[in-house]
Chains A and B, each alone.
Chain A
Amino acid sequence: MPNSNDPFSNNSYVTSQSTQTVGTASVLELERVGESISNTTSEASTDQGIVGVDESRYGTGKPRRVVLRGKIAGG
């Protein structure tokens, strides 16, 4: 049964079989095209962990998905 969330469930995506080597000097410019809604609160951290952090509580948020898309430049 096709999974609409799975990019590999149909043939619209080309996998590594057609990936071209573009060289190490190529620049990959990606733009953020989508991000699922998140109720993550502002959560600050420091090199010293949670020492000195304000009253905010950690771990109140949920995992979220981020999709980036862009084209290979200079290939």
Chain B
Amino acid sequence: MGSVQVKRNRLGRISQGDIFRDVEYIEYVTEKRGIIEVSKIVFPLVVVLTQDCDLEQNARYRGNPTSSSDDKQLFSVLVAPLYNAEHVFLGTHLSNLELNMEPINKSRTPGKTLMQNEKPRYHYLDFPDNIPIVAQVVDFKHYFSVNVSYVDRIRGRNFICRISELYRENLSQRFAAYLARIGLPDLSAPMSGTP
């Protein structure tokens, strides 16, 4: 159920399927009378979702003096957080952010379908025994972008592993399908807020 293969070595560039630890997401930056406040969320693990060909071209052309344009340069890298699966089942994975998430019964249908990757929102990753990562759940709803230079700067220190081909494509395809879904209105709900 949701088993995945990973590679332990990193490439010389950011790659789709890379898993990094301690990645910062800037919530906001405010300034008032010279006082700056920065709020950020530090995610223990994230996985890179940006298309690998885009990452490859970005790495090839970025800062290349022989390149005729900056057409291939990326501003950001799309990532999604990995949450400890046991915390997700309990609904406590965002408790440090004071968010209560809905519990998912692991031993019944909701939990089982999640672990079989049949819930569009989630991607369950069960790592092999020789990989010291507890089972994780990618929550596609919580995707965010991080500055590409920032990721380049931290990737040497914060790289954990990268998801192997096929498993990576499976993750990418499921994410694309999640984003491409067509949201239908709930006809039983009040109509306020609908266009």
B103 at the interface (CB under 8 A from A): no
Are the CB atoms of A62 and B84 closer together than 8 Å?
Answer: yes
Kindly list chain A residues whose C-beta atoms are within 8 Å of the C-beta of B44.
40, 43, 58-63
Interface size class of A (residues with CB under 8 A): 35 or more
What string of 1s and 0s marks CB contacts (under 8 Å) between A35-63 and chain B?
01111100101011111010111111111
Are the CB atoms of A64 and B132 closer together than 8 Å?
Answer: no
Interface size class of B (residues with CB under 8 A): 35 or more
> A residues bordering B, Cβ < 8 Å?
5, 7-8, 13-16, 18-20, 28, 30, 36-40, 43, 45, 47-51, 53, 55-72, 75
A-B complex: 6 closest residue pairs judged by Cβ atoms = A61-B44, A14-B32, A58-B133, A68-B38, A36-B96, A49-B8
> B residues bordering A, Cβ < 8 Å?
8-10, 21, 24, 27-28, 30-45, 81-84, 87, 92-98, 131-134, 136, 156-162
